[in-house]
Structure 1
Amino acid sequence: MKSTVLFATGAALALTTFSAQADTLRLLTWGGYAPEDVVAKFEAETGHTVEVTKSNNEEMVAKLRATNGGGFDLAQPSQDRIAGAQAEFGIYKPLDMSKIDTSLFIPSMLEATKGNTMVDGEVYGVPHVWGTSGLVVNTAMAGQVQDYMDLCDPSVAGKVSYRLKRPTLIGFAFSMGMDPFAAYADADAYQAILDKVEAQLIDCKSNVKTYWGGGDEIKNLLRSGEVTASMAWDTGGWQLNDDNADITFVAPKAGALGWIDTFAMPARGRADDAAYAWINFVMQPEIAAMITTAAGNFTASQGGDAGVDDALKAKYQASFPQEAIDNIKWYPAVPAGLEALEGATLDRINAAK
């Protein structure tokens, strides 16, 4: 690739070159999202340097609160951790979408993230790395399980597992024909949905082998055959597929539940040009493939799966044809008080006989 890189057509988009004005990008991110080979390639091609600080959602917000949005030029919080933090603490600044090559992004993910990170009509986040929870199924033994509600079918009685956590409530709500995310702003409407899901999950208890707590636990249950159908994460299903071709991740008919880690710009960042250059650089398909290899999750880069290891790419494409990607239910910001309602519901389900 040439030392001067035009990331997109159009004079409004970033053209990054070696120059005396090259900045240091202070990046606040997750492990695997800025691998050394990608950083080296970016520095060589743009003249910018990169300082990487690894973090997580809670630490990102805490660091940016402590500095009123200073100390970093680009951060990568999950999309459901932006609007609330911005409204309460003012730690981010709006993105200038004219400086981002939006053609590099999977359209449905870009639009979902823009909508979920909007405050006062301004966009504060665009998508980067994503993953989902849905179904991990032994297709030879429970191939009929295609949606969350199928976990309650008598054909898999005693062979089912899921967590007693909020994703289970949300997944079952969607599978029952309701939209829990649409009810987020109305606590009474949300409670009415929870009540219906509670009754269903209590009725389903006889099908459940165990409620799993950790990733290793559910993987071992599926490996042993004690469990043939479960709610779990996509990467776990693909890992199991390495050992048993019958076990894999299935995107539920009602939609997998998706999380997205974003690009967001701290309010007092000072290297905006370097930040926009990084976004446009890492969203290129060949660079996105390098990040998927390092992080283990796919990115929102359009065509970014093409350069990934053939085995992982095949699993991803089998689990996520385009219609399954477009049907992902992306987590919006959680309003105050909602998790307390969910916690009480989960407690009642757990205690029910």
Structure 2
Amino acid sequence: MTKFTSGPKLNRRTLLKGSLAAGSALAMPAIISRKALASSGEINILMWSDYLPETFLKSFTDATGIKVNYTGIGSNEEIINKMKASKGRGFDIVSPTNNRALQWKALELLQPFDMSKVAIEAVNPAMAKIGSTDWAFEAGSTYWLPHIWGTEGMAWRTDMFQPEGMFPSYGDVWSEANAGKTMGRAHSMMLGAGLYMETTGELAPGSVWKAYTSEEEMRPVWEKITEWCIARKGNIKLIWNDADTQKNGLLNEGVIVGQTWDGPPLALKTAGEPVMYRAPKEGALAWVDGLALPTGAENIEQAYEFIKYAYMPELAGEAIDHHGYNSPVLGADKFAGEAYAKNFADAYPGEALANLNPWPSEPQWYADMRTEYVNRFESA
């Protein structure tokens, strides 16, 4: 299990501990490599659909002259499938999640970073370490850099739903009281159901995470989860697979409570919509999405220039202010507004940060078996 937060006194300040000396103003050009503009003057990025707000893209292009061709995706499977189909060609940067290292190592579709060109000291050391440990496919190599971190927890319409007590529960998605008004992403909603089942005694404590250790451990756990979810499938209104579907569900589709990423509902909250996001009592699911270089990347210097800008606290802070997720860049929070600080406090009150559940490293056999159970649920 990749653990990047720990300790009962963990908070936003300690997660992003330290700061960098403020550099140039937001739109002020930095010194860039001549090679960065020597080939096409463009960069092709395959990344989660809401990670690069227009303000960031404009600042980067104005400062460097490099045009960004941005293809948005909604799942790790999309990234993997596109790279497999193209044999690692077509994109200069892709954004896999930290727990997918074992799958990418087997694919051999990434190339290592030249770390002399990366200001890795600019980011949270615990998150940076993921690249030099889990993603060190050969000794001393780094095939992944941290970019955005966040959680999956619970979002709800404050004018239509109120959780019992301080924290909501993954069980609220499946509850008869909310039937026909809930949503989630199939595979993680089922995992959330498993965590809820541990609290009711329908699964032994620790079963969900133990299922990652072997096929023999996984099979009985997911059999129970799948049957439990199929019996309650009629209570689910919407199954989402990207940020826009989550937002639309809460705004236009009659969803009052759902299991979501943190970014989409917090963006709605910042815009003044009656939406709240919070870590559930079972613990939010934490992840770090990264930056990686495909083997067929053609605009390498431009890629390093993009990383340089992504690791500037001014630009990182500007980005998190828009998309609602969090940055591993030290000092980025100082360049985000008051709304970001309030959203973070609302999302992770009390001991919520100490109770995060980092997604465990995911072997291919686990992904394949989980797909079988998800298909069974979706087709029921």
**Normalising by the residue count of structure 2, what TM-score does the alignment of the two structures yield?**
0.67
Give the whole-Å Cα distance in 2 for the aligned partners of 1:25 and 1:320.
39
Partner residue in 1 for 2:189: 168
Partner residue in 1 for 2:311: 283
Contact in 1 for aligned 2:152/2:262 (Cα 8 Å):
yes
Task: Encode CA deviations 1:143-174: one digit per residue, 9 max, x unaligned.
Answer: 32636365399xx7513634472112212334
Give the whole-Å Cα distance in 1 for the aligned partners of 2:92 and 2:375.
40
Contact in 1 for aligned 2:101/2:361 (Cα 8 Å):
no
Partner residue in 1 for 2:369: 338
Count of equivalent residues: 325
Does residue 129 (structure 1) correspond to residue 158 (structure 2)? The answer is no
Could you tell me which amino acid in structure 2 is paired with residue 256 of structure 1?
A
- Which among 31, 50, 60 is matched to residue 17 of structure 1? 31
Give the whole-Å Cα distance in 2 for the aligned partners of 1:183 and 1:25.
43
Contact in 2 for aligned 1:134/1:234 (Cα 8 Å):
yes
Does residue 49 (structure 1) correspond to residue 66 (structure 2)? The answer is yes
* Local SS of the residue matching 1:299: coil
Does residue 144 (structure 1) correspond to residue 144 (structure 2)? The answer is no
Question: Structure 1 pair 19/232, CA: closer, same or farther in 2 (3 Å)?
Answer: closer
Partner residue in 2 for 1:104: 122
Q: Which has the larger radius of gyration?
A: 1
- Which among 230, 239, 245 is matched to residue 213 of structure 1? 239
Question: Structure 1 pair 270/236, CA: closer, same or farther in 2 (3 Å)?
Answer: closer
Partner residue in 2 for 1:13: none
Task: Encode CA deviations 1:246-274: one digit per residue, 9 max, x unaligned.
Answer: x5111124332245432101224355454
Contact in 1 for aligned 2:183/2:249 (Cα 8 Å):
no
Task: Encode CA deviations 1:216-261: one digit per residue, 9 max, x unaligned.
Answer: 34555777xxx5x5433324443258333xx511112433224543
Structure 2: state its 5+ residue gaps. Answer: 1-22, 199-204, 241-245
Contact in 2 for aligned 1:184/1:335 (Cα 8 Å):
no
Question: Structure 1 pair 66/20, CA: closer, same or farther in 2 (3 Å)?
Answer: same
* Local SS of the residue matching 1:95: coil
Give the whole-Å Cα distance in 2 for the aligned partners of 1:274 and 1:105.
20
Could you tell me which amino acid in structure 2 is paired with residue 183 of structure 1?
A
**Normalising by the residue count of structure 1, what TM-score does the alignment of the two structures yield?**
0.71
Structure 1: state its 5+ residue gaps. Answer: 4-15
Bigger Cα displacement from structure 2, 127-136 vs 185-194: 127-136
Give the whole-Å Cα distance in 1 for the aligned partners of 2:253 and 2:52.
33
Does residue 329 (structure 1) correspond to residue 358 (structure 2)? The answer is yes
Give the whole-Å Cα distance in 1 for the aligned partners of 2:282 and 2:61.
43
Does residue 319 (structure 1) correspond to residue 347 (structure 2)? The answer is yes
Partner residue in 2 for 1:8: none
Identity of aligned residues (%): 20
Question: Structure 1 pair 66/201, CA: closer, same or farther in 2 (3 Å)?
Answer: closer
How far apart are residue 311 of structure 1 and its match? Answer: 2.3
Cα RMSD of the aligned pairs, angstroms, is: 4.1
Does residue 28 (structure 1) correspond to residue 45 (structure 2)? The answer is yes
